[in-house]
Structure 1
Amino acid sequence: MELLNYDVLAKSGYTGFVQKDAQVKVLQFGEGNFLRAFVDYFFDISNEKAGFDGKVALVQPIAQGLTKLINNQEGLYTLYLRGSENGEKVDLKRVISAVDCCLNPYEKTDFDKMMEIATSDSLDIIVSNTTEAGIAYDPSCKFDDVPASSFPGKLTQVLYARYKAGKKGVVVLSCELIDNNGKELLKCVDSYIEQWELGDEFKAWVNNDNIFCSTLVDRIVPGRIRDEKEIQKLEAENGYHDELIDVGEIFGVWIIEGPKELEDRLPFKKAGVNVHVVPDVMPYKHRKVRILNGAHTGFVLGAYLAGQNIVRDCMQNENIAGFMNKMLNDEVIPTLVDHLDKNDLDEFASAVKDRFNNPFVNHELMSISLNSTSKWKARNMPSFLQYIEKNGKLPVCLTMSLAAYIAFYSNDISELTDAGLICKRPAGNTYTVSDDRWALEFYYEHRNDSEEELVRAVLGNKKMWDRDLNDIAGLTDAVVKDLKKIRTEGAEAAYAGCL
Structure 2
Amino acid sequence: MTTKLSLANLDAIKATATVPAFERSALSAGIVHFGVGNFHRAHQAVYLDDLFNTGRDLDWAIVGAGVLPSDAAMRDKLAGQDYLTTVVEQDNNRSAARVTGPMIDYLAPGNPTDTIARLADPAIRIVSLTITEGGYFIDPASGHFNPQHPAIVADAENPDAPKTVFGLVIAGLKARREKGIQPFTVMSCDNIPGNGEVTHAAVSGLARLSDAGLADWIDANVAFPNGMVDRITPATGPREIGIAADDYGIDDAWPVFCEEFKQWVLEDHFPAGRPALETVGVQFVADVAPYELMKIRILNGGHAAIAYPAALLDIHFVHDAMEEPIIQAFLEKLEHDEIIPIVPPVPETDLKAYYKQVETRLFNPKIGDTIPRLAQDGSNRQPKFILPSTGDRLRQGLDVVGLALVSALWCRYFAGTTDSGAAVTFNDASADRLHEAAVNAKDDPMAFLALSDIFGEVAQSELFAKRFTHALKTLWEQGTRQTLQLYLDGKLTE
With normalisation by structure 2, the TM-score equals 0.72
Deviations 1:100-130 (A, max 9, x none): 2223386699569726x7133xx43222335
Cα distance in 2, alignment partners of residues 346 and 271 from structure 1: 26
Indicate the residue corresponding to 1:98 in structure 2: 102
Matched, 1:332 2:339: yes
**Which consecutive unaligned segments of at least 5 residues does structure 2 have?**
138-150
Indicate the residue corresponding to 2:47 in structure 1: 42
Q: Give the CA deviation at 1:193.
A: 7.3
Indicate the residue corresponding to 1:74 in structure 2: 82
Deviations 1:420-460 (A, max 9, x none): 635563xx54454968666655665575x7xxxx77x6898
Matched, 1:421 2:430: no
Matched, 1:124 2:134: no
Cα distance in 1, alignment partners of residues 468 and 12 from structure 2: 69
Indicate the residue corresponding to 1:356 in structure 2: 362
Indicate the residue corresponding to 2:485 in structure 1: 493
2:168 paired residue among 143, 149, 154: 154
The two structures, once aligned, show a CA RMSD in angstroms of: 4.6
SS at match of 1:54: coil
Cα distance in 1, alignment partners of residues 218 and 406 from structure 2: 47
User: Aligned in 2, Cα 1:17/1:318: closer, same or farther, shift over 3 Å?
Assistant: same
1:335 alignment partner AA:
I
User: Aligned in 2, Cα 1:208/1:364: closer, same or farther, shift over 3 Å?
Assistant: closer
Matched, 1:219 2:224: no
C-alpha contact (below 8 Å) 1:303/1:492 kept by paired residues: no
Cα distance in 1, alignment partners of residues 342 and 303 from structure 2: 18
Indicate the residue corresponding to 1:19 in structure 2: 22
Cα distance in 1, alignment partners of residues 109 and 274 from structure 2: 28
Matched, 1:250 2:231: no
C-alpha contact (below 8 Å) 1:4/1:242 kept by paired residues: yes
1:77 alignment partner AA:
T
Deviations 1:382-436 (A, max 9, x none): 434544655x653564466567667x46xxxxxxxxxx635563xx544549686
Cα distance in 1, alignment partners of residues 481 and 131 from structure 2: 48
Which stretch shifts more, 203-212 or 24-33?
Answer: 203-212
User: Aligned in 2, Cα 1:191/1:234: closer, same or farther, shift over 3 Å?
Assistant: farther
User: Aligned in 2, Cα 1:290/1:109: closer, same or farther, shift over 3 Å?
Assistant: closer
C-alpha contact (below 8 Å) 2:401/2:467 kept by paired residues: no
User: Aligned in 2, Cα 1:81/1:225: closer, same or farther, shift over 3 Å?
Assistant: farther
User: Aligned in 2, Cα 1:172/1:292: closer, same or farther, shift over 3 Å?
Assistant: same
SS at match of 2:359: helix
Q: Give the CA deviation at 1:312.
A: 1.4
Matched, 1:271 2:280: yes
Q: Give the CA deviation at 1:472.
A: 6.9
1:53 paired residue among 49, 58, 72: 58
Matched, 1:291 2:304: no
Alignment of 1:181-192 (within 5 A): 181-187=198-204, 190-191=207-208
SS at match of 2:30: strand
Cα distance in 2, alignment partners of residues 302 and 54 from structure 1: 47
Cα distance in 2, alignment partners of residues 246 and 205 from structure 1: 39
Q: Give the CA deviation at 1:470.
A: 3.6
C-alpha contact (below 8 Å) 2:313/2:480 kept by paired residues: no
SS at match of 2:335: helix
2:243 paired residue among 230, 234, 250: 230
Cα distance in 1, alignment partners of residues 451 and 292 from structure 2: 25
Deviations 1:344-371 (A, max 9, x none): 5335423321332231355554665568
Alignment of 1:454-465 (within 5 A): none
Cα distance in 2, alignment partners of residues 480 and 245 from structure 1: 40
Indicate the residue corresponding to 1:7 in structure 2: 8
C-alpha contact (below 8 Å) 1:292/1:349 kept by paired residues: yes
Q: Give the CA deviation at 1:173.
A: 0.9
2:225 alignment partner AA:
C
Q: Give the CA deviation at 1:99.
A: 1.7
Matched, 1:89 2:103: no
User: Aligned in 2, Cα 1:489/1:209: closer, same or farther, shift over 3 Å?
Assistant: closer
Alignment of 1:278-427 (within 5 A): 278-279=286-287, 281=289, 283-302=290-309, 308=315, 310-337=317-344, 340-341=346-347, 343=349, 345-365=351-371, 368=374, 379-387=385-393, 390=396, 394=399, 397-398=402-403, 401=406, 408=412, 421=415, 425=419
C-alpha contact (below 8 Å) 1:469/1:475 kept by paired residues: no
User: Aligned in 2, Cα 1:185/1:216: closer, same or farther, shift over 3 Å?
Assistant: farther
Alignment of 1:170-209 (within 5 A): 170-175=184-189, 180-187=197-204, 190-191=207-208, 194=211, 206-209=218-221
Cα distance in 2, alignment partners of residues 436 and 109 from structure 1: 35
SS at match of 1:230: helix
Q: Give the CA deviation at 1:332.
A: 0.8
Deviations 1:168-193 (A, max 9, x none): 44322133566533213431574387
Q: Give the CA deviation at 1:304.
A: 5.5
Cα distance in 2, alignment partners of residues 366 and 32 from structure 1: 17
Deviations 1:74-115 (A, max 9, x none): 332222223x4xxx3342322112122223386699569726
Max Rg structure: 1
User: Aligned in 2, Cα 1:376/1:177: closer, same or farther, shift over 3 Å?
Assistant: closer
User: Aligned in 2, Cα 1:423/1:140: closer, same or farther, shift over 3 Å?
Assistant: closer
1:232 alignment partner AA:
A
With normalisation by structure 1, the TM-score equals 0.72
Q: Give the CA deviation at 1:284.
A: 4.6
Indicate the residue corresponding to 1:417 in structure 2: none
C-alpha contact (below 8 Å) 1:5/1:76 kept by paired residues: yes
Aligned residues: 457
**Which consecutive unaligned segments of at least 5 residues does structure 1 have?**
410-419
C-alpha contact (below 8 Å) 2:116/2:168 kept by paired residues: no
2:211 alignment partner AA:
E
Q: Give the CA deviation at 1:481.
A: 11
User: Aligned in 2, Cα 1:423/1:272: closer, same or farther, shift over 3 Å?
Assistant: closer
User: Aligned in 2, Cα 1:93/1:341: closer, same or farther, shift over 3 Å?
Assistant: same
Q: Give the CA deviation at 1:23.
A: 3.0
Cα distance in 2, alignment partners of residues 149 and 462 from structure 1: 29
2:258 alignment partner AA:
G
Cα distance in 2, alignment partners of residues 182 and 170 from structure 1: 14
SS at match of 1:92: strand
1:250 alignment partner AA:
E
Cα distance in 1, alignment partners of residues 481 and 246 from structure 2: 47
User: Aligned in 2, Cα 1:160/1:347: closer, same or farther, shift over 3 Å?
Assistant: farther
